[in-house]
Structure 1
Amino acid sequence: MRNGIAVGLAALTAVACSRTVKDSDIIQESYYAAEVLQSAAESPKGVHGALERFRPLMMASFVNIDNVQASSTFGRMLAEQVGSYFTQHGYDVIELKLRNDLFIKEETGELMLSRELKDITQQHDAQAVIVGTYAVAADKVFVTAKVIRALDGVILGSYDYVLPMGPNTKALLQNDRQKRR
């Protein structure tokens, strides 16, 4: 009897240990994040104004909150998907392929647009920049996406979401981990 229980417990333990975290549909999650951003940013903000479809948006790669000057496949892909959503919904989206000068880190740890990026948005008459950060945890990635008005840095809309750390997400983050070693 004891052997049967031990075998049963061993089998249950093996099944529990073999469970892997499954990826969510990252495209669907990115599109939903973009939809929330669009809805929030198009809502009247009193004197702050709202997004206008006839003025371009700039899209920056999403970055690891612990290393905002580095890029990753994961961050670039999220930005591509969010930008794709805005393009599909009638916005002109200008891609930023810059890496190092998109943000400056204040002593408080807050992110804000750098002067160079403000100059670029003025050159393109971009009304806002879509940016994002992510933080990697043990089995999840926490993502924040924002639409920031280029003129004054006011956040017109933001959205926080969590992605499970499935095999695809791990693979997309792999180069991010290698850069930090």
Structure 2
Amino acid sequence: MKGRKTSLIIALAALLALGACSGFQDRTLDYLGKRPTTGPFFEEDNTPMVELNYAAADRISDQLSERLPLGSPITVTMFRLRSNPIQTDFAKILTEQMASRIAQQGFAIVADSSRFPMAPVAKDIAPPEKCVLAGAYSVGKTKIFITAAVTTISDGEILGSWDWAVPLNSKTRSLLPIKEDPFITPMVNTSGPMEKSDSASAHPQSDYIPDEFNNQPSFEQDIMN
């Protein structure tokens, strides 16, 4: 009799355990194929660099349309990393996109302004003004901060300028030798340009060649330092 009761208790316990496992399995199946309810800890900003650069070039073009005489030639200098003489792929693409967009807006982007005609297009219009497009950028923790301007070569007057930022993401980071060059590191303070260091000041910051009157745009001197 006692043995029969024991057997019944064991059988009952086995049935209860089987039911619990079946219920747990059913509940587990409810979650299979479902996405997690929490999102990623950090979502990368993948705004295309070209869109932001084109928008900045449009702002500069708007200013040039009001101040730059018709037919004025604009030469282009490579955009620079502040406080570092290294040339990066980021700078090359940035410079090309800015120059390309300003040219698309109808302005004369030229390789050599000395061969460009400088006669006024009409008697009542100011003569063309030789200008240069220059810029500089600083690498922040999550963004790359850029400044660009078109200035006159004769006296360095700023005719159009703009400040903007592009995200520091996997695409833009691949254009910057951050891993290879220990001097290119994200800035802790992104409110302004990097401070000069002894190693950086030992190298020239600009290879701009002055015109025949030995004039150099003052804005370019400032942003290259």
Q: Which residue of structure 1 lines up, in the alignment, with residue 151 of structure 2?
A: 148
**Alignment-derived partner of residue 41 in structure 1:** 64
Judged with a 3 Å threshold, the aligned counterparts in structure 2 of structure 1 residues 59 and 177 are, in CA distance, closer, same or farther, namely: farther
Q: Which residue of 2 aligns with 1:73?
A: 89
Distance 1:148 1:168 in 2: 31
Q: What letter matches 1:15 in structure 2? A: P
- Among 65, 68, 77, which residue is 1:60 paired with? 77
- Counterpart of 1:133 (choices 136, 139, 155) is 136
| Letter paired with 2:56 | A
In structure 1, the partner of 2:40 is: 15
- Distance change >3 Å, CA 24–CA 123, structure 1 → 2: same
Q: Aligned residue for 1:173? A: 176
Ranked by relative contact order (alpha carbons within 8 Å, sequence separation 6 or more), the top structure is: 1
Q: Deviation of residue 62 (structure 1)?
A: 1.1
What's the TM-score once normalised by structure 1's chain length? 0.66
Q: Which residue of 1 aligns with 2:103?
A: 87
- Percent identical pairs in the alignment equals 25
Given that residues 63 and 132 in structure 1 are in contact (C-alpha distance below 8 angstroms), is that contact kept between their aligned partners in structure 2?
yes
* Residues 94 and 178 of structure 1, relative CA distance in 2, 3 Å threshold: farther
- In the alignment, what sits opposite 1:163? 166
Q: Which has the larger radius of gyration?
A: 2
Q: Structure 1 runs of 4+ off > 3 angstroms?
A: 120-126
Q: Note closer, same or farther for the CA distance 1:24–1:15 as it changes in structure 2 (3 Å cut).
A: closer
Q: CA deviation at 1:34?
A: 0.8
Give the aligned residue type for 1:94: V
In the alignment, the residues of structure 2 paired with residue 147 and residue 176 of structure 1 have an alpha-carbon distance, to the nearest angstrom, of: 32
Structure with greater strand percent: 1
Q: Greater helix share, 1 or 2? A: 1
Code of the aligned partner of 2:155 = D
RMSD: 2.6
Contact 1:21–1:139 (CA<8 Å) still a contact in 2? no
What is the SS of the residue equivalent to 1:145? strand
